[in-house]
Structure 1
Amino acid sequence: MQSQLLQSIHPRPFLKWAGGKGQLIQQYIPHFPKYFSTYYEPFLGGGAIFFYLQPVQSFLMDINPELVNVFCCVRDEVEWLIELLKQHRDRHCSEYYYSMRSQIGVSNVERAARLIYLNKTCFNGLYRENSKGQFNVPVGRYKNPAICDPELLRAASRALQNARIEVQPFEAVLDYAKNSKDFVYFDPPYHPISATSKFTSYNRYTFSSEDQIRLRDTFAVLANRGVQVMLSNSDCPFIRDLYRGFTIHTIQAARSINSNAKKRGKITELLITC
């Protein structure tokens, strides 16, 4: 009975990630394709949509090599990863956090465990790198952070077994998605909705207006091929104008990552389909 219960755990994101879609899935469900053979996600992030859909075939991509490494290790080395996370859990304190933040593990699994540990214990679950690619978020104030959740990681590992996971720029999807049997979901860094809203990347690489235009062009090429495409972005005139001619849905969301708690609250986002 116990083993059956553990096997029934539904996979879900094992990382906190800026812009995660877990709270929006119910609004997305009416817009998901009813049928597709291969799922592509060029901005992987926390992978909430992937874990919800659990596609038989998938190609997951991201430009962040540390993020891709974590997903590969969860897929391929989950038991070793769990053991390392237990060690981090048992040693966690502010001094240990900063010690781990200042170093990078030698092996892929050590790097993966380090990232998950920092993600679960850093301020507000925010992933941020400086210009040198170094993680630079301060420690968070948590009484009992969920550093190691073995069954969540094992459920994610099972879901990822048939997934291809690579470091790739978003345009690489053009080499693979060819027709209506393919479904591509883009969740890029959102375009700023105001002059003071500058969070357009979670690593050393920014995502500019020119990148948004390149992404729109990629979206259009896929749509012209008959590929089923869906994209999330901020609700602002620039994005609405950029995707004029496609179907634009307004999604009710919540801003959860902001240093000023008073600026967190309900906002609208866009979901674009073709």
Structure 2
Amino acid sequence: MLTQIKSPCAPRPFLKWAGGKTQLLQQYQDLLPKRFENYYEPFLGGGAVFFNLYATTNPPVTSFLMDINLELINVYRCVRDDVQSLIDHLEIHRVNHAKEYYYEIRGQQACPDVWFENGNNLERAARFIYLNKTCFNGLYRENSKGHFNVPMGSYKNPPILDPDLLNAASASLQNASIEAQSFEVIAEHATTAKDFVYFDPPYFPISDTSKFTSYSRGSFNMEDQIRLRDTFATLAKRRVKVMLSNSDCPFIRDLYQDFKIHTIQASRHINSKASKRGKITEVLVTSY
């Protein structure tokens, strides 16, 4: 294990992420299980729930963090394994940030079909974080060819590099397994009441303008939502503690009618029309 630099700040998400749960954690707190040992998060994203659990007085014994996005998983691995080198790469981006530079770097960031070759993982991770901090709304989106295609945002002083935050995240990730996997593999690992699984999938669209399904080259459609419900039910039968967030709509409420459904107050920040941003409700489903 690498020697970690102590950070003066508590661990929290180091990426901007559409649908991130930082603003909802206070509402989640009383709904989290009181006792568990192993934590599983298959739709990792910004990792707000993981970092929140780690910062509590009784963090998980082990954590298994997963996502299908290879770029994202590479970033988390680099933060865990070699955060100082990552910081050095980010300093280069911080110094050179400008409009032409942004689009030059964006053109280099095409998501691979296979795992990265050794040697460029840190460069890819630094590019990912740089683009995340400087693109429009921190939105991650790929086109059909797997190319990151979000335009540059209008920020006067984007927080491209925060060493304290990255060091805090690195420390919290030291005992975490970080893998590029589909959510369905959870059924092979979470088997007892000592396990806690949190699902935060791409939300089921409740309007034409909310159909954001380009998180990766594939989309997360109705059939995928049903497969996820089936996985949720399989885990629940084993007495695994399972929690899932999703849209508040008849389809999702019907899917999870056999479980406890809690209503959460949230805010919609990403919409092409400002008039359609604002307060909405979401659901938080629990098996316990």
* TM-score, length of structure 1 as denominator length: 0.96
Q: Which residue of 1 aligns with 2:234?
A: 221
TM-aligned CA deviation for residue 161 of structure 1: 0.4
Q: Which residue of 2 aligns with 1:92?
A: 97
TM-aligned CA deviation for residue 201 of structure 1: 4.2
Following the alignment from structure 1 to structure 2, what is the Cα–Cα distance between the partners of residues 103 and 201?
A: 19
Q: How does 1:77-116 map to 2 (within 5 A)?
A: 77-104=82-109, 107-116=120-129
Q: Does structure 1 retain, via aligned residues, the 8 Å contact 2:143–2:214?
A: no
Q: How does 1:1-274 map to 2 (within 5 A)?
A: 7-54=7-54, 55-104=60-109, 107-274=120-287
CA RMSD of aligned residues (A): 1.1
Q: Does structure 2 retain, via aligned residues, the 8 Å contact 1:191–1:200?
A: no
Q: Which runs of 5+ in 2 are unaligned?
A: 1-5, 55-59, 111-118
Following the alignment from structure 1 to structure 2, what is the Cα–Cα distance between the partners of residues 127 and 257?
A: 12
TM-aligned CA deviation for residue 258 of structure 1: 1.6
Q: Does structure 1 retain, via aligned residues, the 8 Å contact 2:106–2:148?
A: yes
* TM-score, length of structure 2 as denominator length: 0.91
TM-aligned CA deviation for residue 203 of structure 1: 1.4
Following the alignment from structure 2 to structure 1, what is the Cα–Cα distance between the partners of residues 143 and 266?
A: 28
Amino acid at match of 2:163: P
Following the alignment from structure 2 to structure 1, what is the Cα–Cα distance between the partners of residues 67 and 123?
A: 20
TM-aligned CA deviation for residue 83 of structure 1: 0.6
Secondary structure class of the residue paired with 1:12: coil
Secondary structure class of the residue paired with 2:155: coil
Amino acid at match of 2:136: F
What is the aligned-residue identity percentage?
A: 69
Q: Which runs of 5+ in 1 are unaligned?
A: 1-5
Q: Does structure 1 retain, via aligned residues, the 8 Å contact 2:265–2:282?
A: yes
TM-aligned CA deviation for residue 257 of structure 1: 1.3
Secondary structure class of the residue paired with 2:25: helix
Following the alignment from structure 2 to structure 1, what is the Cα–Cα distance between the partners of residues 227 and 109?
A: 33
Following the alignment from structure 1 to structure 2, what is the Cα–Cα distance between the partners of residues 195 and 152?
A: 36
Q: Does structure 1 retain, via aligned residues, the 8 Å contact 2:8–2:164?
A: no
Following the alignment from structure 2 to structure 1, what is the Cα–Cα distance between the partners of residues 233 and 156?
A: 47
Q: Does structure 2 retain, via aligned residues, the 8 Å contact 1:104–1:114?
A: yes
Question: What is the aligned length?
Answer: 269
Secondary structure class of the residue paired with 2:209: coil
Q: Which residue of 1 aligns with 2:116?
A: none
Q: Does structure 2 retain, via aligned residues, the 8 Å contact 1:13–1:51?
A: yes
Following the alignment from structure 1 to structure 2, what is the Cα–Cα distance between the partners of residues 195 and 104?
A: 29
TM-aligned CA deviation for residue 195 of structure 1: 3.3
Q: Deviations over 1:191-242 (max 9, x none)?
A: 0012332113411110000000000000000000000000000000000000
TM-aligned CA deviation for residue 259 of structure 1: 2.3
TM-aligned CA deviation for residue 28 of structure 1: 0.4
